[in-house]
Amino acid sequence: METWQALAPTSAPGYRARRDDVPLVGRDHELGLLRHAAGTSITHERALLVLLVGDVGMGKTRLADEVSTWAQYEHDAVLREGRCLPYGEANVWWPVADALREGLGVGEGDDEEQAASALATAVLAGLGEGSPLEFIVGESQASDFEIAKSLARLLIGQDPLALHERMDDLDRSLVGNPALKCAVDVALHDLVAKHAGLPLYALLGGGKREIHTCKTIGIDEPEIMARRAAEVKEGGFPALKVKVGVDWAEDVRRIRAIRQALGDGFPIRIDANQGWDPPEAVLAARALAPFDVEICEQPVAYWNYAGLKHVREHSPLPVMADESLFDHRDAFKLASMGACDLFNIKLAKSGGLRTAAKIDAVAQAAGIRCMVGCMAETRLGLGAAAHFVSAHPNVRFVDLDAAFFLAEDPVVGGMAYDGGRVILPDVPGHGADIDPGFLAGLESITIS
């Protein structure tokens, strides 16, 4: 049995594929499983890593059934400030590698240009991430891990560059499970972008534009939230997102204290996380209007489209749909009803970049602006979302701050932060990889 590097090769020039890092599976149509368990903290995060390894030759690109590898890991993510609703986050990482073979021919003595050229022609890898939260998408790490086994067999042997066909295959075979589909979708987009030699934003048809994210604070006592709000402003973020939705009258006191701490002009966006009923939402919106609140996100239950429409018709604040919006069909229904002013697109809800683009197309047709938000992703998943933002000018608001609340960062390369500024790399694909050292101690099992 051969051993190969578990992670997809990084896009950095001069990176060498190695054969001694992490034991993988040989050429016997086997499936390797890797698992790592860590301690428990305030919130618990788990992730799934999948590596499909195949062949490239004579211009043909395909996913071969030669080598398939899965890895599963568990790690802590600590919300270092404030309180939040109980979370059971579980991330899914899905790399799809289109070639990793013995005949790479890149040695330690080769120069960077030669190494980069060899990697560009012989080693292509796509890495994706999804974040399944049971109370939002109805998925868990455990359910996704089992279902993904069937999806792997569906993908193996198929052309990964036919991205729409591959995602159509997944949609026909599996209803729902958008976070798992997101991991596959992002990995395929990453692979196709690398094959084309383009940054992901360029593959999506856009240019590289300036991106700034807001930062979120959780529910706490008004004076504590006010202090944290001031810290967000001092940290270089252009806007503040505030969790509300427990008691609307107390929420008003919280926002009053925050506005006093921030002064006039600094944008405040509130997210009720479905916490109010329609009459409460209207009362809250009217009481909050004097504090110059920019957006009121998902004030009522996800299923209550009529209630959301009622709030929009009676609220002085712009109303944004989040949990009510998963795919382009939801977008069409919301737009047709006039139920909201804004859409919040999240890749883990939409099933990835492909459906996110469809949502944005519906939004543009209806004259609705969009936000791109996040669940509990690392900089890998957040980076894919940022590339989407860069390519879609109709996205006017950005909420990609999840990485600030993770206890550790296993991502190598990819997007970076400068305060609230999001910086995208100019390498092919989304540019992110996972630190091999982070995966080195994984418990492993092989399924033949």
Choose the catalytic residue: 81, 129, 294, 297: 297
Asked if residue 259 lies in contact with residue 289, where contact means CB atoms within 8 angstroms, the answer is no
Q: Is 271 a catalytic residue?
A: yes
- Cβ burial of 42 (10 Å; 0-12, 13-18, 19+) is middle
Catalytic residue among 89, 271, 377, 399: 271
> In the annotation, is 247 catalytic?
no
Identify the CA nearest to 147 among candidates 168, 188, 175: 175
Q: What is the distance between the terminal CA atoms of the chain, rounded to a whole angstrom?
A: 13
Q: Which residues contact 269 (CB under 8 A, 6 or more apart)?
A: 214, 239, 240, 241, 242, 293, 294, 295, 297, 397
Kind and range of the H or E element at 161? Answer: none
Q: State the amino acid at position 434 in one-letter form.
A: I
Out of 322, 323, 401, 433, pick the active-site residue. 322
AA identity, residue 53:
V
At 256, which helix (H) or strand (E)? helix 248-262
Contact 100, 4 (CB under 8 A): yes
Q: Which of 181, 215, 346, 349 is catalytic?
A: 346
Catalytic residue status for 102: no
Give me the residue label for tokens 């995060």: 45
Catalytic residue among 181, 194, 215, 243: 243
DSSP code at position 6: S
Lookup: tokens for 190: 């990453």
346 is catalytic: yes
**Closest listed residue to residue 96, CA positions, set 148, 138, 143:** 148
Who contacts 80 (Cβ-Cβ below 8 Å, separation ≥6)?
405
Buried b (16+ CB within 10 A) or exposed e, 400-417: bbbbbbbbeebbbbbbeb
Catalytic residues: 243, 271, 297, 322, 346
